[in-house]
């Protein structure tokens, strides 16, 4: 009881302190970034290769969310549990061979309870085999340009040549957070899972900060004897979303305290200014061979500037950088970028842009009507 009181007292003190830039954390490796821009706000040995335990599942979840977004699977897709999945050790929800679960139920079990058996089952379902899934994990590492990560398994149990770094984990987490649906799973503190035999298992989130730190809604804890206690956390306040990573901590308490230090520092020291919201019209672009000659263009995501707490908000200049747009083109297709400059003519943001509506390819009658219209205008 005394330990519990001291633990929550330390939380209380951490919530109300203003962290200095020179703060230190006990983690072997740590990083804090702004999710929107990727700006590093704090770092310590961020490129050191270390075992990352169940934070491995951030990459596993990323690949699964990608397949969900493509429509190749959905939350109701049925997953049959294999012998290999049911025999997994470590953290698990004790799945039985031959049982069938919905994709969403197993995804919840991974996100909340770090279930090794569930992640193996979803890896097999998503890419046909655990081995092929691991290949895809390492291909994704290369695609993201990360230099200090290599996966040997999908769950994070200690294994030779299985490692990552705080920086790489933060970048993988940043990619995962593009799929906001994942937060519906990682933000839940406790829930029951209905098992195939009719019994229920109580899922409790391994990330206790989801309950005890306002704004935390993910992301993934980890622990093995080699890795120590690890945590990739994310929190959002006043439109500012941060990602922190701590690796190689001595205890759960140290892991939580260091994470709170990092998040407090970020939220106390930085703010974001919403320059332009996604969907806002930026201008028009000509569509070659389109049924419409011109179409409005808009931001794919919010354009945000990261500022120090006391910085003043600037006036902005927008420059469209668009290659030739040729029909057919769909809303959501990336057709170029917009560069955003502040009053000092400094480039502060580069954001993807798309068309406001679908534009089909023009046919003979479209060209005919267009030419007739031009004749009348010239006449």
Give the tens place of pLDDT for each residue, 146-204.
Answer: 999 999 999 999 999 999 999 999 999 999 999 999 999 999 999 999 888 888 899 99
Contacts 24+ apart (CB under 8 A), 136-141: 136/63, 137/59, 137/60, 137/63, 140/59, 140/62, 140/63, 141/59, 141/168
> What's residue 377's pLDDT?
54
> What's residue 5's pLDDT?
42
> What's residue 20's pLDDT?
45
Sequence-ordered list of residues with C-beta below 8 angstroms from that of 371, at least 6 positions apart, any chain: none
Taking a C-beta distance cutoff of 8 angstroms, is the pair 45, 28 a contact? yes
- Average model confidence (pLDDT) across the chain: 91
Residue of 57, 108, 125, 271 marked catalytic: 57
164 is known as an active-site residue: no
> What's residue 6's pLDDT?
45
Q: Please, which pLDDT band fits residue 365 given cuts at 50, 70 and 90?
A: confident
> What's residue 367's pLDDT?
67
- Of 6 and 288, more confident: 288
Choosing among 3.30.365.10, 3.30.565.10, 3.40.710.10, 2.40.160.40, the CATH entry for 24-271 is: 3.40.710.10
Determine the average pLDDT of the residues in 198-217. Answer: 94
Tell me the three state secondary structure of residue 35.
coil
β-bridge mates for residue 159, sequence order = none
Decide if pLDDT at 240 tops 90: yes
| Phi/psi of residue 174, nearest 5 degrees | -60, -40
> What's residue 18's pLDDT?
42
Determine the average pLDDT of the residues in 206-218. Answer: 96
Name which of 257, 236, 232, 255 is nearest 245 in CA terms.
232
Q: Do 24-271 and 277-378 share a fold? A: no
H/E stretch holding 284 = strand 281-288
Determine the average pLDDT of the residues in 87-97. Answer: 92
> What's residue 198's pLDDT?
83
- Of 373 and 263, more confident: 263
> What's residue 378's pLDDT?
53
Residue of 28, 29, 54, 125 marked catalytic: 54
Ranges of each domain in the chain = 24-271, 277-378
Q: Cα angle at 107 between 101 and 111, to 5 degrees?
A: 140
Dist. CA 360–CA 104, nearest whole Å: 36
Determine the average pLDDT of the residues in 1-18. Answer: 47
54 is known as an active-site residue: yes
The number of residues in the chain equals 379
Dist. CA 235–CA 231, nearest whole Å: 13
57 is known as an active-site residue: yes
Determine the average pLDDT of the residues in 131-154. Answer: 98
Residue of 82, 109, 114, 256 marked catalytic: 114
Taking a C-beta distance cutoff of 8 angstroms, is the pair 204, 112 a contact? yes
Give the tens place of pLDDT for each residue, 307-336.
Answer: 999 999 889 999 999 989 999 999 999 999
Determine the average pLDDT of the residues in 206-226. Answer: 97
Dist. CA 155–CA 136, nearest whole Å: 14
Q: Please, which pLDDT band fits residue 370 given cuts at 50, 70 and 90?
A: low
Sequence-ordered list of residues with C-beta below 8 angstroms from that of 372, at least 6 positions apart, any chain: none
- Of 184 and 349, more confident: 184
Task: Give the pairing type, strands 281-288 and 325-326.
Answer: parallel
Decide if pLDDT at 371 tops 90: no
Give the tens place of pLDDT for each residue, 36-85.
Answer: 999 999 999 999 999 999 999 999 999 999 999 999 999 999 999 999 99
Q: Please, which pLDDT band fits residue 23 given cuts at 50, 70 and 90?
A: confident
- C-alpha separations of 221 from 49, 134, 208, 253, 356 in Å: 17, 20, 9, 13, 40
Choosing among 3.50.50.60, 3.40.1160.10, 1.20.1630.10, 2.60.410.10, the CATH entry for 277-378 is: 2.60.410.10
């Amino acid at each position: 009881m005394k330990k519990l009181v001291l633990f929550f007292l330390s939380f209380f003190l951490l919530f109300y302190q203003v962290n200095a830039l020179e703060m230190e954390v006990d983690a072997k490796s740590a990083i804090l970034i702004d999710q929107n821009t990727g700006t590093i706000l704090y770092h310590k040995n961020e490129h050191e290769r270390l075992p990352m335990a169940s934070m491995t599942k951030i990459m596993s979840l990323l690949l699964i969310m990608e397949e969900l977004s493509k429509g190749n699977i959905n939350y109701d897709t049925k997953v049959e549990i294999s012998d290999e999945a049911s025999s997994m050790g470590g953290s698990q929800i004790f799945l039985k061979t031959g049982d069938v679960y919905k994709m969403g139920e197993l995804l919840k079990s991974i996100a909340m309870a770090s279930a090794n058996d569930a992640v193996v089952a979803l890896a097999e379902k998503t890419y046909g085999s655990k081995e092929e899934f691991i290949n895809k994990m390492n291909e994704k590492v290369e695609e993201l340009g990360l230099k200090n990560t290599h996966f040997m398994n999908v769950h994070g149990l200690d294994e030779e040549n299985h490692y990552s770094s705080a920086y790489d984990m933060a970048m993988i987490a940043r990619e995962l957070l593009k799929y906001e649906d994942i937060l519906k799973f990682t933000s839940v503190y406790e829930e029951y899972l209905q098992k195939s035999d009719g019994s229920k298992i109580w899922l409790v989130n391994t990330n206790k900060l989801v309950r005890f730190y306002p704004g935390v809604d993910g992301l993934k804890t980890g622990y093995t004897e080699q890795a120590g206690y690890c945590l990739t956390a994310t929190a959002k306040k006043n439109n500012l979303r941060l990602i922190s990573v701590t690796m190689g901590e001595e205890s759960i308490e140290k892991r939580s305290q260091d994470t709170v230090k990092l998040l407090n520092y970020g939220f106390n020291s930085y703010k974001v200014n919403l320059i332009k919201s996604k969907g806002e019209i930026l201008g028009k672009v000509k569509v070659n061979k389109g049924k419409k000659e011109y179409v409005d263009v808009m931001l794919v995501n919010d354009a945000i500037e990261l500022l120090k707490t006391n910085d003043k908000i600037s006036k902005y200049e927008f420059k469209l950088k668009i290659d030739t747009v040729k029909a057919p083109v769909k809303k959501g297709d990336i057709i170029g970028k917009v560069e955003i400059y502040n009053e000092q003519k400094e480039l502060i943001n580069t954001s993807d842009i798309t068309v406001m509506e679908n534009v089909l390819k023009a046919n003979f009658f479209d060209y005919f009507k267009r030419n007739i219209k031009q004749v009348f205008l010239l006449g």
